Structure 1
Amino acid sequence: MDLLTMTALGILAAGFFVGIVVGLTGMGGGALMTPALLFLAPHQSAAAVVSADLTAAAVYKSGGALVHSREGSPNLTLAKWLIIGSVPMALLGPYAVKALTDDADQLDQVLKFSIGIALLLAASTYAARLYLNLRRVRSGGALGDENPTIRPIPTLLVGALGGLLVGITSVGSGSVIMVALLMLYPGLSAVKLVGTDLVQAVPLVLAAAISNIAIHGLDWELLIPLLVGSIPGTILGSKLAPKVPQSFIRRAIVVVLTMSSVALLGKAGWEPFGETAQPYFIAATGVAMVVLVPLVWGFLRKGQGLPMYGAPTVAELEGTTYADRTGK
């Protein structure tokens, strides 16, 4: 194995960077690492990238789940119903994609397209979460509900859909499922939300990793530098989290996810303006996100009876600071 190649060093560096982001914000994981691996190791198939990313995620998410379990933050009953729904679908998802075609190139194209769509979904869930928090603050909804009444069937369905998405693309174990939980249980406190999501994510990504490895194998040249970089990065990010403003990082993640999605959809054959114009289209997407998203957010605030800009800020909506201070 050539573990000291420029590709391996690039993967190690990307793993370290993504690990820091995950430790800082609790988001990023597969949504950032999967496209990074696809661009850093273009000779590798999308299936090999998904297998390596899921295996690495099972390792570093286990540490986060253990910390939250010791602190007593996860809602284990809620996590149980999510796991019951997600694990079987995570195991079946890769086989469902494999059944579509026996052609390796076509399978690679299907996976890249699926990952591109999953990245768009992950980016949109961040905006959805902010908007839900904004509505909750304005309506005076319940805050910090440590033990909400569990709704088994909807929770199981959320787990099943999340498991299918993760099993196919490795994206969604944090971002998509977390927003679905927020919609089902709007009073769930932030620490309970993160802790529950981490606990359910471990068996989910482990099941998805096992299924993908069984079908596609495991590329150690991808996995080893990814683990070497991501584990210390996650530890460092967790230690820096209290000192670093996370809202700017999370907004940057949304821009990167959207641009990565457009790039991967292009690799899968979606090039609305032709192959030559695709790089410019990706850059224009990033510029549009930076310019237009704050404007759209301002109009959403106006729809809730607030000025376009001001309190509650995005940083306040991401936590409970504003709600705790105002009682709203």
Structure 2
Amino acid sequence: MDLFTSFVLPAVVGIGIGILSGMLGIGGGTVLVPIFRLAFGMSPIMSTATSLFTIIPTSISGAVSHVRHKTCVPSLGIAAGLGGACTSPIGVWLAQISPAWLVMLVAALIIGYSAVNTLIKAWRMKPAAKKVPAAAADDPAVLAETAVEQVGDAAANEDAELAPTPIAADTGKSFPKLTRKQLLIGAAIGLGAGLASGYVGVGGGFIMVPLMLSLVGISMKQASGTSLIAVMLLAIPGVIEQGILGNINYMAGIAVAIGSIPGAILGARLVRIVPERMLRFIFGGFLIVAAVVLVLNELGILG
């Protein structure tokens, strides 16, 4: 392959992956695996291994930015990451002995379930309350109408959200503190994410983010950054194992990583200004696209 195909193109892809990573709390593996297979002609096992290798620098850059801006819960991320680090080598071993179509099918099923769950919750949420224009700030009628809308939106959101009440966003002084039970739940979530990470070659964010929302009760913005902290920890043992087995394409992985670092920093900044309902829709839509691409690829429709 020429320089453009082997390095420049993967770096450009990495920028987009990094933005998704920083905004949505994922390592980008759900996009990288089909790209490595379709665009670069890698084998299934090399695609998953190279994806897992690329996830680490992407997650680190995004996680650092989230920590700086306090849009994460580090204690929960560490708990989930340590749990996942215990199971990701098992996932790699299972992938080695499984047929390629089964690996991709499992990935598509997990991603699809997470997508539907996220989109349902986003649909039930009401848009953010409207701001009163400065020119109408003194108009009693406008103020009364706005107050009614805000109360109605709050009530609708309360009825729609079946998950635990999200932990309040940090004010900038300290990170949210969780109970021991919440941290244990986080570690359990990490166990499942680590297995999926090693098996499918993804970071596991598509599992952790929805479960952190529903079981732990943190907000979407907090879950994005927290997931990245966990991903950068749980992927390490799996990458070491894949490297020993000789399954990683280091040139493509490094090129994508170079592009993903600035992209992840940008995505982490965007997460602070994008409304949570919109963020949920973006996340769910992204997962659906990834699941469809994997299925079509295994059916031979895309290549």
- 1:137 lines up with 2:126 in the alignment: no
Aligned to 1:176: 207
Aligned to 2:289: 256
Aligned to 1:166: 197
Query: Structure 1 residue runs of 4+, over 6 Å off?
Result: none
- 1:210 lines up with 2:240 in the alignment: yes
Task: Give the Cα–Cα distance (whole angstroms) in 2 for the partners of residues 70 and 22 of structure 1.
Answer: 16
Would the alpha carbon gap of residues 224 and 159 (structure 1) be closer, same or farther in structure 2, given more than 3 Å must change? closer
**Counterpart selection for 1:124 from 106, 113, 123:** 113
> CA offsets, 1:108-140, max 9 Å, x none?
xx2443134213322331331343464873167
Deviation at 1:226, TM superposition (A): 1.5
Would the alpha carbon gap of residues 201 and 224 (structure 1) be closer, same or farther in structure 2, given more than 3 Å must change? closer
Would the alpha carbon gap of residues 192 and 5 (structure 1) be closer, same or farther in structure 2, given more than 3 Å must change? closer
Aligned to 2:48: 50
Task: Give the Cα–Cα distance (whole angstroms) in 2 for the partners of residues 73 and 233 of structure 1.
Answer: 17
Please tell me the residue identity of whatever aligns with 1:262.
V
Deviation at 1:173, TM superposition (A): 1.9
> CA offsets, 1:146-201, max 9 Å, x none?
43433255433321111010011122521111112222113x23343223212111
> CA offsets, 1:182-238, max 9 Å, x none?
22113x233432232121111112222112112234322322322233223334444
Structure 1 vs Structure 2 CA RMSD: 3.1
Task: Give the Cα–Cα distance (whole angstroms) in 2 for the partners of residues 254 and 185 of structure 1.
Answer: 21
Aligned to 2:264: 234
CA contact (8 A) 2:197 2:235 kept: yes
Query: TM-score by structure 2 length?
Result: 0.72
**Counterpart selection for 1:84 from 62, 82, 85:** 82
Task: Give the Cα–Cα distance (whole angstroms) in 2 for the partners of residues 28 and 86 of structure 1.
Answer: 14
Count of residues in correspondence between the two structures: 258
What SS does structure 1 have at the residue aligned with 2:38?
helix
Would the alpha carbon gap of residues 138 and 213 (structure 1) be closer, same or farther in structure 2, given more than 3 Å must change? same
Task: Give the Cα–Cα distance (whole angstroms) in 2 for the partners of residues 252 and 217 of structure 1.
Answer: 30
Compare relative contact order (CA 8 Å, sep 6+) and give the higher one, 1 or 2. 2
Would the alpha carbon gap of residues 261 and 97 (structure 1) be closer, same or farther in structure 2, given more than 3 Å must change? closer
What SS does structure 2 have at the residue aligned with 1:142?
coil
Percentage identity across aligned positions? 20
CA contact (8 A) 2:51 2:201 kept: yes
What SS does structure 1 have at the residue aligned with 2:76?
helix
Would the alpha carbon gap of residues 179 and 250 (structure 1) be closer, same or farther in structure 2, given more than 3 Å must change? closer
CA contact (8 A) 1:119 1:258 kept: yes
Please tell me the residue identity of whatever aligns with 1:160.
L
Please tell me the residue identity of whatever aligns with 1:231.
I
Query: TM-score by structure 1 length?
Result: 0.67
Would the alpha carbon gap of residues 92 and 170 (structure 1) be closer, same or farther in structure 2, given more than 3 Å must change? same
Would the alpha carbon gap of residues 114 and 70 (structure 1) be closer, same or farther in structure 2, given more than 3 Å must change? same
Gaps of 5+ in 2: 126-156, 169-175
Please tell me the residue identity of whatever aligns with 1:157.
A
Task: Give the Cα–Cα distance (whole angstroms) in 1 for the partners of residues 13 and 106 of structure 2.
Answer: 22
Task: Give the Cα–Cα distance (whole angstroms) in 2 for the partners of residues 237 and 3 of structure 1.
Answer: 30
